[in-house]
Chains A and B, each alone.
Chain A
Amino acid sequence: MSRLGRLLPTRLVPARLRGLRARLVVAFVLVAAVSALTTAGLTYREARNAILQRSQDIAVNDLRAQINSLAPELTVPPSQADLDFFRVQLERSGTSRDWDISVHYSGVPDSEDSALQGGVVVPAALRESVEKRHVPVFQRIIRGGDPWLLIGMPVRQSDGTASALTVYAQLPLKAEEANVEALVSAARGGALPVLGLAMVPALLAARGVLRPVRRLRQAAGRLAEGKLDTRLEAKGTDELADLSRTFNDMAAELERNVAELRRLEANSRRFAADVSHELRTPLAAMTAVTDVLDEDAASLDPDTASAVRLISQETGKLARMVEDLMEVSRFDAGAAALHLDEVDVAETIRKTLQARAWQQRVTADLPADVRARLDPRRLDVVVANLVGNALHHGGEPVRVVLHAPEPGADRLLIEIADSGPGIDPEVLPHVFDRFYKADSARARSEGSGLGLAIALENVRLHGGTLRADNCPEGGAVFTVDLPLHRAAEHGTADGCQGGDRDDGWDGGPDGDRPGAGKENDR
C-alpha cells in the first residue's frame, strides 16, 4: 500500500491511485526527494560551516592583528580613558568589518561605553575561558534575530605571558547568512525540478512493468474463458519474461490436462454408448421373438412356461433399459436434438396417457387451447416417465394438472401429483440421480432407474426446470416448468448436429426451426 493509503482511509482512495503505476510513481518521487533532500542538507551544512569558519578565522585573525599592533602603545596599567581610546582605535581599525568592541582590564571598572551594544552580555563561560585560562574564544550568538559572532581575546604581553587586558568584539554575520540562504534556495530550486523529473522514469518504469502485467492479465482472462491455447510472448531475461514463460508452461500443462480429461471423458461416454449400441442388436433379435414365446407358453409344462414368460418379460425390461441408457448417453454427448412443433399441450398429454392406457388410473385436468412450441416426443417422454413414476412409487389416484399460463406470462406449468406417502426428505435431492433407488427394499424397480433423470434432461433441453416436492396434504408432486415462447435459438445441448431439416422444405409448419441437417442435395 502506498503512503497515500496510510494517509487516507482505503475506500477514499480511488482504485487508480492504489494501482501499481501510482505506487511506482510515489516510490520514485520519494526516493528522489530523500536523495535530493539528503544531498542538499549535507551540502548546506558543510557549505555553511565552511563559510562561517572562514569568516570567523578572518575576523579573529584581524582582531588579533589589530590588538597586537595597538596594544603595545597602551600604558600599563591603563586608566579608563586609555581603555576607551584603545577601544575606539580598535573599532576604527575594523570599520571594514563593522565590529563592536568592548575592552576590559582587570581592576579597572568598565565604563558605560565599553559594554557591547544591543545589551549583549558576554556569557560567563566565555568570559571565564578568556580571563582565567587566557585562550581566545569565539561563539555565535543570535542578536535581534540576526546571527552575530562574539569573540573574546585575551591580550598577551610581548614576553608571551598573560596580561590583564581582554578584548571582546561582536560582529554581524549577515553577509554570510545571506550566502547560506542563497545556498538553500539554490538547493530548493534544484530539488523541485528533480522531483518533477523523477516522475518521468517512474512512469516509464511503470509502463515497462505494467504492459507485461496487463498482457498477463488479458491472457489469464482468455485462459479463464476456456481458450487454453493462449500463450504469451516471452522476450528477454527479466523476471517478467520469466513470469510469462512460467505462465506459458502453466497454460500448456493445463491444456494438456484438460485435453487428457476430455479424451478420457469422451472415451468413457463413447464406451457407454457403444455398449448400449452393441446390446441393442441381440436385444432386437430377442424382442422380435418374445411374442412367439408368450403365445406358446400356455402349451408348455408349467416350469418351462414360467421360465419362458420370465425371459420374455425380462427381455422387454432389458430392452427398455438399454433404450434409456442410449438416451442418457445421447444427452451426455450433447447429441440430443429438439424438434419443436407448435402443439396443443392438453392434446399431447392426453395422447400420452391414452397410448399407455392410463386414462382410468389418472385424473387429468387439462384446459384446452394451451398452445406451446415444444418437442412433442420429448414432452411425451417427460409426462410418461413422471406419471409412470407416480403410479409405481407413489400411489393412486395420480393427478396431472396443466396450468394455463396467465395472460402475458410465458411459463407453462404441468404438475403430476400422487397420493402416496410422499418422498423422504433425505431422498428428495437425489430423486433425479441416475439409478438412484429411493426404496432400498425395492431394489428392483419397475423402471430402468433412469426415467426421472431422462425426464429432467428433456425438460432442461427445452430450457425449463423440473422440481420434486411433497404436497402439504401428502403425496409427492413433480412440477414441469417450461418456457412458453422459446427463442428461435435452441438446439442441441451444445449446438452440435440436430436431425432437423427445414432448409428447402419451405420450413415445416412450425416455421423457424433451426435446420442443422446436411445440405439438401436436390
Chain B
Amino acid sequence: MPRVLLIEDDAAVRDGVTLALRRRGHEVAAAASGEEGLEALPGFRPDIVLLDLMLPGKDGFEICRLIRAERQLPIIMLTARGDDLDVVLGLEAGADDYIVKPARGEVLEARIRAVLRRTAPPADGDTGTEPGPAPVETYGELAIDRAGLVVTKNGQDLALAPSEMKLLLFLSATPGQVFSRQQLLEHVWEHSYHGDARLVDACVMRLRTKIEDTPRSPRYVQTVRGFGYRFGPL
C-alpha cells in the first residue's frame, strides 16, 4: 500500500485527510510544516507527498523545490481552484499534479493512484530471465531506457520528475505524432475532467529545460501551434 507523506498546516484538514486515506489503506505520516516534512522524508520514505501550498515558514513552492532537488518522488499539491497563479507556480516548482481543496476522500485516492500508476514501471509479462539489457532507444543525444525508466543525454543521467518521465515516454513512443493537451491530460495525468492545459504546459516546459539544448527552440518536444505537442521528428 502506498505510503503518503501529508504536509498540511491546518490540524483539521490534516486529521481529515489522514483519516480518509488511512480508511483506504494508505500509510500516512502527517507534518504540520514544510520543515517538519523535510525531516520526516528520509525516515518515512514515502511513495508520494501531498503538499499544501499555504504553509507557515517555508511555503509549499519552496518545499517542493527542496524535495525535487534531491528526489524524484511524485508530489501532489493541495491547492484552491482558481488560484491560478498558485497552480502554475506549484507546477513550475516541480509538482506532478494538484488537487483542489476541498476534496472528497475518493478524489484524493483517485489522484494518488493516477500519479503512482504513471511512475510505476510498466508491468511486463515476462519478469523472468532477462536476455540482456532492454533495448535502449536513442534519439539524437537522448537515450531512453523504457524498462529501466532511465533517460540519459550524452551519457549523463537526467533526473526527471515522475510526470516528466511519463510525458516523455508517452510522446516518444510514437515520434512525430501530435497529441493535443487534452489527450496528454487524459493519458499522462488521467484527468477525466478537462481544461487543465497548464499541467501539460508546465510539465513540457520543465521537461524541455532538462532535455533540450536550447529550451526556447526545442528539438525533441516540439510545439504544433493550434494542435498540441509532438516528439521530434529530429
Interface residues of A (CB under 8 A from B): 277, 280-292, 295, 316, 319, 323, 326-327, 330, 336-337, 339, 341-343, 347-348, 351, 355, 375-380, 497-502, 504-511, 517-518, 522
Contact A505 B101 (CB under 8 A): no
Inter-chain contacts of B80 with A (CB < 8 A): 277, 280, 326
List 6 A–B pairs whose Cβ atoms lie within 8 Å, in order of A's numbering.
A284-B13, A284-B78, A288-B16, A500-B88, A509-B228, A510-B197
Contact in complex: A507, B181 (CB < 8 Å): no
Question: Which of B19, B20, B102 contacts A319 (CB under 8 A)?
Answer: B102
Pick the contact of A507 from B17, B197, B223 — CB < 8 Å? B223
B195-231 vs A, Cβ < 8 Å mask (1 yes, 0 no): 1111001101100110000011110000111111100
A517 CA to B90 CA in the complex, in Å?
13
Report which of A316, A323, A502, A506 forms a contact with B215, defined as CB distance below 8 A. Answer: A506
Asked whether A339 and B198 contact (CB < 8 A) given A285-B15, A285-B16, A509-B225, the answer is yes
A499 touches B198 (CB 8 A): yes
- B227–A509 contact, CB under 8 A? yes
CA distance A323 to B85 in the complex (A): 17
Query: Which of B10, B105, B182, B204 interacts with A290 by CB under 8 Å?
Result: B105
Q: Does B81 contact A (CB under 8 A)?
A: yes
Q: In chain A, what residue has the closest Cβ to B109? A: A291
Q: B1-39 interface mask toward A, CB cutoff 8 Å, 1 = contact, 0 = none?
A: 000000000101101110110010000000000000000
* Residues of B contacting A343 in the complex (Cβ-Cβ under 8 angstroms): 182
**Roughly how many angstroms separate A502 CA and B201 CA in the complex, as a whole number?**
8
> Could you tell me if A511 and B209 are in contact, using CB atoms closer than 8 angstroms?
no
Known contacts: A285-B13, A289-B16, A499-B87. The answer to whether A280 contacts B201 by CB under 8 A is no
Contact status B215-A375, CB under 8 Å: no
Assuming A284-B102, A377-B196, A501-B88, is B218 touching A506 (CB within 8 A)? yes
Task: Point out the residues of chain B lying under 8 angstroms from A377, CB to CB.
Answer: 194-196
Instruction: Specify which of A339, A355, A497 is in contact with B197 (CB 8 Å cutoff).
Output: A339
Q: Does B106 contact A (CB under 8 A)?
A: yes
How close is A354's CB to chain B, nearest CB, in angstroms? 8
Q: Give the complex CA separation of A511 and B225 in angstroms.
A: 6
Residues of A within 8 A of B13 (CB): 281, 284-285, 288
Contact A288/B226 with A348-B194, A376-B197, A377-B194 known, Cβ cut-off 8 Å: no
Residues of chain A within 8 A of B198, CB atoms compared: 339, 499
**Extra contacts besides A288-B108, A377-B194 (10): CB < 8 Å:** A280-B102, A285-B12, A287-B103, A337-B84, A351-B193, A377-B195, A499-B87, A501-B201, A504-B216, A509-B228
Residues of B within 8 A of A342 (CB): 226-227
- CB A9 to nearest CB in B, in angstroms, measures 62
Residues of B within 8 A of A (CB): 10, 12-13, 15-17, 19-20, 23, 78, 80-82, 84-85, 87-89, 92, 101-106, 108, 180-182, 192-198, 201-202, 204-205, 208-209, 215-218, 223-229
Q: How far is the CB of A492 from chain B (nearest CB, A)?
A: 10
State whether A509 touches B224 (Cβ < 8 A).
yes
Which B residues are CB-close (under 8 A) to A500?
A: 84, 88
Give A492's nearest chain B residue, CB to CB: B84
Give every chain A residue within 8 A of B78 (Cβ-Cβ): 284
Which A-chain residue is minimally distant from B91 (CB atoms)?
A501
A502: nearest residue on chain B (CB-CB)? B201
Q: What's the least CB distance linking A103 to chain B, in Å?
A: 126
Contacts of B108 in A (CB 8 A): 288
Which residues in B have their C-beta under 8 angstroms from that of A517? Answer: 85, 88
Contact A504 B215, beta carbon cutoff 8 Å: yes
Question: How many Å from the CB of A189 to the closest CB on chain B?
Answer: 84
Please determine whether B20 and A292 come into contact, CB atoms closer than 8 angstroms: yes
Instruction: Assess whether B205 is in contact with A504, with CB atoms less than 8 Å apart.
Output: yes
For residue A505, which residues in chain B have a CB less than 8 angstroms away from its CB? Answer: 201, 204-205, 208, 223
Neighbouring B residues of A286 by C-beta, 8 Å: 16, 102
The 10 A-B pairs at the shortest CB distance, nearest first, are namely A499-B84, A377-B195, A285-B12, A287-B102, A288-B16, A376-B195, A291-B105, A285-B16, A284-B102, A284-B101
Instruction: Specify which of B23, B180, B205 lies most central, judged by the most chain A CB atoms within 10 Å of its CB.
Output: B205
> How many angstroms from the CA of A500 to the CA of B87 in the assembled complex?
10
A501 neighbours in B (Cβ, 8 Å):
88, 92, 201-202, 205
- What distance in Å separates the Cβ of A423 from its nearest Cβ neighbour in chain B? 29
Given A509-B226, A510-B225: A280 touches B101 (CB 8 Å cut-off): yes
Q: How far, in Å, is B50 (CB) from chain A's closest CB? A: 11
B residues less than 8 Å from A511 (CB atoms): 225-226
Rounded to whole angstroms, the CA-CA distance of A337 and B88 in the bound complex is 12
Q: Which of B197, B209, B227, B229 contacts A522 (CB 8 A)?
A: B209
Chain B contacts of A281 at CB under 8 A?
10, 12-13, 101
Q: Specify the chain B residue showing the minimal Cβ separation from A329.
A: B82
* Chain A residues, CB < 8 A from B204: 505, 508
* Closest-CB distance, A381 to chain B (whole angstroms): 9
Q: How far is the CA of A520 from the CA of B209 in the complex (A)?
A: 11
Tell me if A284 and B105 are in contact (CB < 8 A). no
CB distance from B226 to the nearest CB of A (A): 5
Residue of B nearest to A327 (CB): B82
List A contacts of B192 (CB < 8 A): 355
Q: Report B-chain residues with C-beta under 8 Å of the C-beta of A355.
A: 192-194
B105 partner, pick from A288, A507, A510, beta carbons under 8 A: A288
Bound together, the chains give a CA A507 to CA B202 distance in angstroms of: 11
Q: Is the CB of A509 within 8 A of B84?
A: no
Chain A proximity of B225: nearest CB distance (Å): 5
- Alpha-carbon distance A504/B209, docked complex (angstroms): 10
Is A284 touching B181 in the complex (CB atoms < 8 A)?
A: no
Shortest distance between the CB of A333 and any CB in chain B (Å): 11
Q: Across the interface, which residues of B come within 8 angstroms of A510, CB to CB?
A: 197, 225-226
A366 to chain B, nearest CB (A): 15
CA–CA, A336 and B82, complex, Å: 8
Q: Are A499 and B85 in contact (CB under 8 A)?
A: yes
Is the Cβ of B102 less than 8 Å from the Cβ of A341?
no
Report the bound CA distance from A281 to B106 in whole Å: 18
**How far, in angstroms, from A507 to B208 measured CA to CA in the complex?**
13
Q: Could you tell me if B229 and A498 are in contact, using CB atoms closer than 8 angstroms?
A: no
Please, how many angstroms separate the alpha-carbon atoms of A498 and B224 in the complex? 23
A277 to B209 alpha-carbon distance, docked (Å): 35
Contacts of A323 in B (CB 8 A): 81
Residues on the A chain within 8 Å of B228, using CB: 509
The residue of chain B having its C-beta at the shortest distance from the C-beta of A512 within the complex is B225
Please report the C-alpha to C-alpha distance between residue A133 and residue B196 in the assembled complex, in whole angstroms: 128
In the complex, which residues of chain B have a beta carbon less than 8 angstroms from the beta carbon of A339?
84, 195, 197-198
A337 to chain B, nearest CB (A): 5
> What is the CB-to-nearest-CB distance from A378 to chain B, in angstroms, rounded to a whole number?
8
Whole-angstrom distance between the Cβ of B113 and the nearest chain A Cβ: 15
